[in-house]
A and B are shown apart, each in its own frame.
Chain A
Amino acid sequence: DAKTTQPPSMDCAEGRAANLPCNHSTISGNEYVYWYRQIHSQGPQYIIHGLKNNETNEMASLIITEDRKSSTLILPHATLRDTAVYYCIVRLFNAGNNRKLIWGLGTSLAVNP
């Protein structure tokens, strides 16, 4: 699985959009980009995933560059409850026996009042 690079920490004002970047320059054509987050003292929570098209759900939007070497997770109106560590992971979709997720250190997002 391709490696990802994320900034260790970011700040965002409450009510503003939080844009979390991720570099995955070695991503292969059949690898998806997944985003999870982990709020303090809780297990990780799935947010969104995508291959090459932009994706949106009730939690966030995922913007993937045309060359797929980087992506941005957007939380459109960040709240204090969005304070968490955000993990960007690339992985083969429906990868048979190779289904494991490789977790980096993620980005610690602090949403400030």
Chain B
Amino acid sequence: SAVISQKPSRDICQRGTSLTIQCQVDSQVTMMFWYRQQPGQSLTLIATANQGSEATYESGFVIDKFPISRPNLTFSTLTVSNMSPEDSSIYLCSGSGASYNEQFFGPGTRLTVL
């Protein structure tokens, strides 16, 4: 198994600003993912973070709004750019090993945009 931590755990931001969320895994994982979970809703995949190359975004999510980095097998960042109140959500990082059998999740970052 892997233990995933995220920073910050929560933040309150002003509209028009950007926030970078960090995701650290305690062991190497093959795949890393970023999800969004809006209040009372299920998880929606934003993108797959690829090591050393551009992330793969899901429909409805673009790199300009959610730039992602993954410099190595244990670390990734997600930036929420030019934020608006609609970006208020919980952002979750996850990772999986080579078998892709199970995904491990971080505790999430609760973002509020005023």
Q: Which residues of A contact B (CB under 8 A)?
A: 34, 36, 41-46, 49, 87, 93-95, 99-101, 103-106
Contact B101 A100 (CB under 8 A): no
Contact A95 B100 (CB under 8 A): yes
Count CB-based A-B contacts (< 8 Å). Answer: 49
- Shortest distance between the CB of A76 and any CB in chain B (Å): 21
- Shortest distance between the CB of B97 and any CB in chain A (Å): 11
Q: How far is the CA of A36 from the CA of B104 in the complex (A)?
A: 10
- Shortest distance between the CB of B95 and any CB in chain A (Å): 11
Best-buried of B48, B58, B100, B105 by chain A (most CB within 10 Å): B100
Q: How far is the CA of A93 from the CA of B99 in the complex (A)?
A: 8
Contact B102 A49 (CB under 8 A): yes
Say what secondary structure dominates the interface of chain B.
Answer: strand
Sampled A-B contacts (8; CB under 8 Å): A41-B107, A43-B94, A93-B100, A93-B101, A99-B100, A100-B48, A101-B103, A103-B42
Q: Which residues of B contact A (CB under 8 A)?
A: 4, 31, 33, 41-45, 48, 58, 92, 94, 96, 99-108
Given A103-B42, A103-B44, A106-B42, answer yes or no on A43-B100 (Cβ-Cβ < 8 Å): no
**Residues of A close to B48: CB separation below 8 A:** 99-100
Contact A94 B107 (CB under 8 A): no
- Shortest distance between the CB of B27 and any CB in chain A (Å): 15
**Residues of A close to B106: CB separation below 8 A:** 43
